Structure 1
């Protein structure tokens, strides 16, 4: 079977654990005859980590060269087309997709979380690029509904990271048990006052449960400062754990009883490993996951103003809450593999 070259485009090479997990999931699911060229913020690291050809996502020359060498262009998962954080994201990803289509490449929007799109221009750009795709898959019902309004019928399946293989974490079982992981990230909704509240609640929670707190920066350049600040105030056993390998990041949750998480993929990874999840939502994608899986949690904007109320809720969930059952997890993993079936149909 002849080799197929495909440009893979996403938020890669930025040391974001969730997006790196999406890339690893995609590479795991690609048909063997596909040779990927990954656009990355750190091409050398991406090439070394995954054993793939990679080029600088910010170099117009390198990107154009990759497009000219390729047959396919794939948006590789995540919330690429949304304008909540900035308008630059949809312009970059939509512009590249449009350029690929203009150059005659076949295109796939894969495992996408589309929106929110508040601006008329970004809605128009997203619609036009998706209309030109050979195949589309989305990871949530809100994205599917938006596309249905545009008379598009995407494949809908759970996030591919549900199906990512997990690897053991060296030294994890040497840490005191039981363990609870915390994955916070900076965001305007996580104000200094709310971070202080959560820290006080975490201190009370640890005193009551005698748990070892694992602070896990999913994107160290952003999250480490928060983890360090919390760690300096915790009275009991704790550890800041930074992992580069997405499979190990997922495997971490095999040895954790409960996660308190903002990061979407921390909740997905933890739930997939039968870990209890308590969500702190800063974004519709997290709220959507809470709704679909019936996860307990709060919208950050509606966080209780009393640290005792927060810690009491966590303690009760730690003592009495349940993880997803194995049959539900198996179903989510099996359905996540529908994203692989789509790749096989298009590229196989």
Structure 2
């Protein structure tokens, strides 16, 4: 476990198994922290502490939702440092939930470090006020992309904000064997396309849900026939399964599509990516995993964070799902396939810089921990 004489470090974010991207961030954060400070005792504030404790048995997991203030104060006041993030948690109506805990920690005299956090949209008065108040008192503020830095600045944050990169950039894959794909009903002997879909949200405000699913089904059919391939839907949240099946139901080539239904760890999904020939999707960490694995990617942006990532890796970023006509998107898919080797080389080169920036977050955290509690000689 940990050295009783080391620092006690809290980690607060959207953790608890509801989203593979968030769990990827936590996996990377904890792995980096263990490497730099093996003497640390880590307390993860989780939305599902039982899940988190099983997933990470060498840390302490505790709940924070629905917990009274006295109990939370007791848990927070024993920390030597609280990490806020990473991931997209500072946005309207949600930011206040996390930042109230941050404010309580600061009242207890606990220093706070924001770890490659994602921010925006952030315009609500309550959320902006809490963001300004708490981050101004933080040891350091690091964010994962330029869009998050801009969102904090527009919310009135005046302290320095450092742009690093998403912690998931540092993940290493676990083996994902062909047998696992066969178990999911994916046959051998075909090219394989990965696809990630989610609820429409802001990505398709002009379309009703049926039209949205039909549009994605049109894209999926084109991919299957253009590449003579099998299509694998990769859910990053459980609700993605229903949207994947809805898209599949509108496909003319539905027999060439499969939806992954088993539960996988982030590093396993990263391992799955090596089987793909092309990745098209909406979820940020699906795209990050594909890019890390050297798979040509076409983002379908539904939020600024996806646009930012597409720009960083030089990927096309057509907002195809906000159009009622799929033509421009299909043309971009066609171009991506024809230019795939050039795109892969360019993306691989750009990822090296993103990994360096991702590692910087842990380096900065380690420096602050060293000042708070030096490593024993």
What is the aligned counterpart of 1:79 among 81, 88, 98?
88
Secondary structure at the aligned position of 1:113 is classed as: strand
Which residue does the alignment assign to 1:54? 61
- Report whether the alignment pairs 1:274 with 2:294: yes
Which residue does the alignment assign to 1:11? 14
* Counterparts of residues 20-99 of structure 1 (less than 5 Å): 20-30=23-33, 31-51=37-57, 52-61=59-68, 63-83=72-92, 87=93, 89-99=94-104
Which residue does the alignment assign to 1:240? 259
Which residue does the alignment assign to 2:374? none
**Take 2:347 and 2:197, find their aligned partners in 1: how far apart are those partners?**
25
- Report whether the alignment pairs 1:310 with 2:329: yes
Can you list the C-alpha shifts for 1:241-271, whole angstroms capped at 9, x where unaligned?
Answer: 2443111122221221211111111111111
What is the aligned counterpart of 2:221 among 203, 215, 224?
203
- Report whether the alignment pairs 1:150 with 2:153: no
- Report whether the alignment pairs 1:166 with 2:173: yes
Q: What is the CA distance between 1:65 and its match in structure 2?
A: 3.4
Which residue does the alignment assign to 2:365? 343
Q: What is the CA distance between 1:285 and its match in structure 2?
A: 1.3
Q: 1:311 to 1:147 in 2, by over 3 A?
A: closer
**Take 1:126 and 1:101, find their aligned partners in 2: how far apart are those partners?**
13
Gaps of 5+ in 1: none
Secondary structure at the aligned position of 1:29 is classed as: helix
**Alignment check: 8 A CA contact 1:215 1:239 kept:** yes
Can you list the C-alpha shifts for 1:7-33, whole angstroms capped at 9, x where unaligned?
Answer: 211111142000000111110111212
Could you say what the CA RMSD is over the residues aligned between the two structures, in angstroms? 2.1
**Alignment check: 8 A CA contact 1:37 1:66 kept:** no
Paired residues, number: 342
Can you list the C-alpha shifts for 1:175-231, whole angstroms capped at 9, x where unaligned?
Answer: 4332111111113334321221110221122122111111001001x1110112233
Q: 1:309 to 1:287 in 2, by over 3 A?
A: closer
- Report whether the alignment pairs 1:111 with 2:133: no
**Take 2:28 and 2:232, find their aligned partners in 1: how far apart are those partners?**
25
Tell me which moved more, 306-315 or 187-196.
Answer: 306-315
**Alignment check: 8 A CA contact 2:166 2:358 kept:** yes
Which residue does the alignment assign to 2:280? 260
**Take 2:278 and 2:213, find their aligned partners in 1: how far apart are those partners?**
19
**Alignment check: 8 A CA contact 2:229 2:256 kept:** yes
Can you list the C-alpha shifts for 1:127-186, whole angstroms capped at 9, x where unaligned?
Answer: 111011112211112333455563322332121111111112132676433211111111
Gaps of 5+ in 2: 371-377
Q: What is the CA distance between 1:308 and its match in structure 2?
A: 4.9
